[in-house]
Every structure is written in C-alpha cells, then in structure tokens.
Amino acid sequence: METNKNKKSVFMLRIINLAWKNIWRNKVRSGVILGAIIIGLFSGTFLIALMDGWMIGTVKRDIETQFSHVQIHDTTFLANYDINAYFIREDIETKIKQSGLHLKTAFRLNLIGMLASPHNAVGVTTKAVIADEEMQVTDVWKYIADTMGTYLTNDNQNAIVISRKIADKLKVKLRSKIVFTFQNAHGDMQSIAFRVSGIYKTSNGMFDEANVFVKQSDVFRYTGLPLGTVHEAAIMFSDLETCDIIAPQLKSMFPEMDVQTWDELNPILKLTLSYTDFMGLIILAIFLLALSLGIINTMLMAVLERTQELGMLGSIGMSKRKIFSMIMLETIFLTLLGGIIGIILGAITILPTLENGLDLTPLIQDNFEDWGYSSIIYPALNIQMLMEIVVLVIVAAVLSAIYPARKALKLKPLDAIKKI
C-alpha cells in the first residue's frame, strides 16, 4: 500500500516536471502569452491601487477637513440652516461625559450670509468656532501656508480665515478688511467687519468656495441667540472602525437630535466609493477575460501541435487523467508565473508614490478639485487585494485550460501513431 503511494507521488512529480519543461519548448509562444499576462496584471494592479487610493484619500480628506466622523444638529437645522434651529451645548457635553466616552468634539455656529469687499461679494457659510476645539476635529489650519497668515489666534480680534478662491473673488489679501452680513435670530440684519488673518487652500474646491472661519467670541453677541447655544457638534474618532462602533451609541444617547455619520452627511461620497470598488471589479474582469482568451488560444495551439506526442504518451500507458493534469499544470504554471511577476512589478511601481503621491496637476490642472477631488493621488497597496487578484488569475487560468485539456483527451493514440 505504501509502495503504491510512493509510486503515485513519484509519477506526479514527473508530470509536474514534464509540465514545467513543456512550457519552454516553444519559447516564443510562451514568451508572448507570458508578456501579455505580465502587462495585464501590472496594469490592473496599478490601476486598481490608484483608484482605491484616490477614493480612500478623498474620503479621509473630506472627513478631516469638512465632515468629521459624526455631526449632531437640531432635527430641523440641515433642511435650511435656520439660525433658530439650535441646541444647548451643555446638554450634549453632559450626556457624553456621563456615558464615559472621551471624544474629540467641537461646537460651532453656522451662519449663512454675504461676505463683501469693496470689489465684490460672495455668499458663504461662516463657521464660528473655538479654535482649540476646531483644530482637534478638522485640519483646515494645516492648509494655511506660512506666507498666508495664521489660523484664529486669541490675540487677533475680529479675525477671519478665508480660502484662496474667496480671496481671489473678493480681490483681497492678508490684513484686508471685509464685511460679513447675515440675519440674526430676530430677523434683523447684522454686519460685522473682519480682517483677513489667514488664507487656506484645500484640495476640495467646492468646500473652499463656501466656507470661512471666525471666532465664536467675535460674533455671538450679534446672533441674538440664547447664551450657550450652538448649531453643530462635530465629533472625531481615531478611525472609521471606531466610528462604526460608537456612532450607534451616540444615536441612542440623543434620540431627539439629528445624529449623522460622514456617509449620511454626504451619501454621494459613499456611493462614489462603492462605485469605485465596482469599477475596479469591472476593470479586473476585462483583464481576466482578455487573459482567458489568450490562454485558450495559446494552449489550444500547443495541444494541436503536440498531437503525436500526446498520442504516444497515451499509447505507452499514460492515463487520460494524467494527460489532463499535465495540460492543466502547464497552464497554471504559465499563468501563475506571469501573474506574480506582473503584480510584483505593479507593486514596485506603486511603492515610490505611497509617500509623495502621484501629482496629476500637470495633466488636468485643478479640474478635479473643482468637483471636490484631489489632483494628487496616493495609491493604496492592499495586500488582501493582491492576494485576491492572484486567486482570480489562477481560477481564470484553470477555467481557460479546461477546453484545451479536453481537446487533448479526445486524441486517439492509434491515429496519432499512424501520423509518425
């Protein structure tokens, strides 16, 4: 019994060795299909990593700059940004402390109005914040260049931070005087004069065109709101996984409030992220389909050219199962070798861009930023994704080899020997 097992193992090793040698019998043909596999998997790996990195970076940037992980509002606030749709800050803080959660939270006033200079006027959302709190949950302050001023410091009274896009529209610069006009809680128009203390530029042009930042202490007395009221609480977690865990707790803690996560605040971004994953699968499917057609054609040619050889193997006692296994192994070896080389080349190409990103500005200028997407893409090298690609390539190779292998089984040893 043990001897039979040893014989089968030795014979299987011989078939594996024979299958490997058969690949290189026609070096040109094998080289062509190997090159096609390498190019296809290299392109697919790089493109999918680029798309994943683009969307992951967009989500991360929008969370850190604009949405935070969770926002809390009065249930009617987001409908029309009504200044009277407020809540008491202390109520939220007290419940969070009682729950034992230690959260990075910033409380804001959101005021819709007109920002004007002697040259022009634009509609904006003015976020009245407490600088120390705000810097924990958003990173707009990081987008202020050294030559473009500072964020909202305590020693600057009536300071305002605007974007470069707004500065260009208003034709203002640092230290310029601009006036913000809005309607307070009683319906009276209020105008406040500010001086530009900082000019920021993020990679989201849509956000830049609509948002400016001031200190709560500079505007609160003009709002006509009760003391201690705010419009928004922005909460930041360490990562998205923590957000998924704690967000349901916050919703249950504040059933009378509108508690929304980043993907609920911007469902289009979530949809785009899902769409990008779907497009990655489509691109990979196209590569695998082209790969499969190439494998079928190559292996079928190899089988037809080796009619006499395969017939001879059958006539000396090699079973059809072993011939089938040999053809399948040839295909798997060829595909696996090309796939691994292609993926490694794709990963090597991606590695230098992981830190510095891939700047598309010379090609597309700032066109992506006008739609809220960064022109600098940081590819995402996902090991799980690479393993899934390898598995899919092997599956495609096996399925593609079935027809050529079945063709080999239909060869009759006697007919093949007659042709010798």
Among 39-48, 193-202, 229-238, 250-259, where is mean pLDDT lowest? 39-48
Q: Provide the pLDDT confidence category of residue 251 given band limits of 50, 70 and 90.
A: very high
* Better-predicted residue by pLDDT, 103 or 364: 103
The pLDDT value recorded for residue 308 is 67
DSSP letter for each residue of 233-256: EEEE-SSHHHHHHHHHHHHHH-TT
Q: What is the mean pLDDT of the chain?
A: 83
The pLDDT value recorded for residue 128 is 96
The pLDDT value recorded for residue 104 is 93
Beta-strand ranges (E) seen in 344-405 are 358-359, 376-377
Cβ-Cβ contacts under 8 Å for 375 (sequence gap 6 or more): 203, 359, 360, 361, 364, 365, 366, 367, 368, 369
Question: Closest Cα to residue 377, out of 139, 146, 58?
Answer: 58
Among 102-116, 220-234, 366-380, where is mean pLDDT lowest? 366-380
Average pLDDT over residues 159-171: 95
Do strands 189-200 and 159-163 pair parallel, antiparallel, or not at all (unpaired)?
parallel
Question: Closest Cα to residue 409, out of 303, 301, 295?
Answer: 303
Q: Using an 8 Å Cβ cutoff, are 311 and 413 in contact? A: yes
Over pLDDT 90: what percentage of the chain?
41
Measured at the alpha carbon of residue 262, what is the angle toward residues 257 and 264, in degrees to the nearest 5? 65
Average pLDDT over residues 155-159: 84
* Predicted TM-score (pTM) of this structure: 0.74
**Cα 194 from Cα 314, distance rounded (Å):** 91
Quick check: 247 pLDDT over 70?
A: yes
* Better-predicted residue by pLDDT, 371 or 31: 31
Quick check: 13 pLDDT over 70?
A: yes
Rounded CA Rg of the chain: 32
Question: Closest Cα to residue 342, out of 123, 34, 62?
Answer: 34
Strongest mean pLDDT among 50-59, 132-141, 302-311: 132-141
In the block, residue with structure tokens 């709101």: 225
Among 161-175, 178-192, 391-405, where is mean pLDDT lowest? 391-405
Q: Using an 8 Å Cβ cutoff, are 115 and 178 in contact? A: yes
Quick check: 76 pLDDT over 90?
A: yes
The pLDDT value recorded for residue 411 is 62
Model confidence pLDDT, tens digit, residues 86-108:
999 999 999 999 988 889 999 99
**Cα 174 from Cα 196, distance rounded (Å):** 5
Q: Is 139 exposed, middle or buried (0-12, 13-18, 19+ CB in 10 A)?
A: middle
The pLDDT value recorded for residue 223 is 96
Over pLDDT 70: what percentage of the chain?
88
The pLDDT value recorded for residue 307 is 67
**Cα 246 from Cα 72, distance rounded (Å):** 14
In the block, residue with structure tokens 């006036």: 179
**Cα 221 from Cα 226, distance rounded (Å):** 10
Cβ-Cβ contacts under 8 Å for 344 (sequence gap 6 or more): none
